[in-house]
Structure 1
Amino acid sequence: MAVILVVDDEEPIQELLKFNLEKEGYTVLVAGDGPAALTMIEEKHPDLVVLDLMLPGMDGMEICNRLRQNSKYRDLPIIMLTAKGEEIDKVLGLELGADDYLTKPFSPRELLARIRARLRRAKPQTEEAELVRGDLRIDLNRFQVIVRGEAVELTPKEFELLRVLATHSGKVYSRDELLERVWGYEFAGDTRTVDVHVRHLRQKVERDPSNPEYIETLRGIGYRLKE
């Protein structure tokens, strides 16, 4: 799982982010100021940085600018946090190389969704291009699913739902987790959306949707792809 560096001088924010990120399986590093953050990046090589704008001594703008001037860190994903809401701060942060911007107070769920989106975009092209689970083949580059030798057509959300389940087959995902991973922070619906998409997905990939061999329901918990 990815390593996330949280750079913030407020201890409650550090603890909030550390708790929520570790709960998702990320390894979390914490720095309280700019020099400590730059040292940690040099030594620990995090996969993404959550960077507060207002820091003592060296602010987030300067840290972001230094990282982008260094060819080693030009592509390091940076999500900037700030208590300010002025448009000029957002524009400056993005111009200096931040990949995304979130204003405090923020929802941890929203931040997690943005982190996942940035990490997906940062993945090298050499990563696994196909997931094979029994008679189920998922081509991640062509967005194609083949079941028992035949291609099936899925909607984008059905494909992403199947990809999430297949990436960690055997892992049980709650409906809230699937909502967050597939629909993201901008989604305003409820968990019934997940049930509807699972039902449609089963109709397309299962021999008998009433007795699924791939997508298993754990009553009161959620869903998983059978190992």
Structure 2
Amino acid sequence: MYNELYVPVFAHRGASAYALENSFKAFEKALELGADGIEIDIQLSKEGIPVVYHDPQLSRLVGIKKRVNECTIDELQRFKLGKPWRRLFSSYKIPVFDAVLAWANTHQFPLNIELKSTILDNRGALVQMLQGLIIPKGSHFSSFHYELLEIVKQHMPQYETALITTKKLKWDLLDAYQAIDSVHMHKKYYKPRYLEACVASAKVCRFYAIDGNEKFLTNPHPSVIGWITDFPDKVISMQQRQ
């Protein structure tokens, strides 16, 4: 049983400590471990089709020096994913967003949909993606790019939007970011200054890079509405401690 201070846990790229990031195996593992949702990353193919992949470049998991948006969806679907010494025999493929969305809606498993940099080059594809979009209750959009969240808010104002913070963010002007409802921060920002800035601007927050050992997990600040972690089981267990 969760304690009264329990904060929802989103598995970062799925339960990525236990399976390849942004894969169906990682998503299913997150569900199995009791996560409250998953964080996924959206890039665009050359045609503007949303796919679930973190890096704009394919080098780390595919081993080629091309950008995601330089490849057609057919090319992207043929690539095998994984570390270099495992890639040849890997069964992992880049998921299409529509397939992940269908899976999430079937399980009513909330999504933290992070909009990545390749979308900046094809904003019309984001508008098309949003048209008629149905996502599980508790889902939201996040991005480092405020202009993408403005598009989401313009076309789908009912959905929560979260700005992922950088050093450039002017915290004293946080209330000027009218197209966002929340902020996502690295755990190093779990400090009174930033938490109070959220309160002052009437915004809530989530923290990422959580590993389950943080003392603040058992007594979270009232503005915190989510943890984002590679280890959902550990974070859930820590929160259950009285």
| TM-score, normalising length: structure 2 | 0.32
TM-score (norm 1): 0.34
Q: Which protein is richer in helix relative to its size?
A: 1
| Bigger Rg over Cα | 1
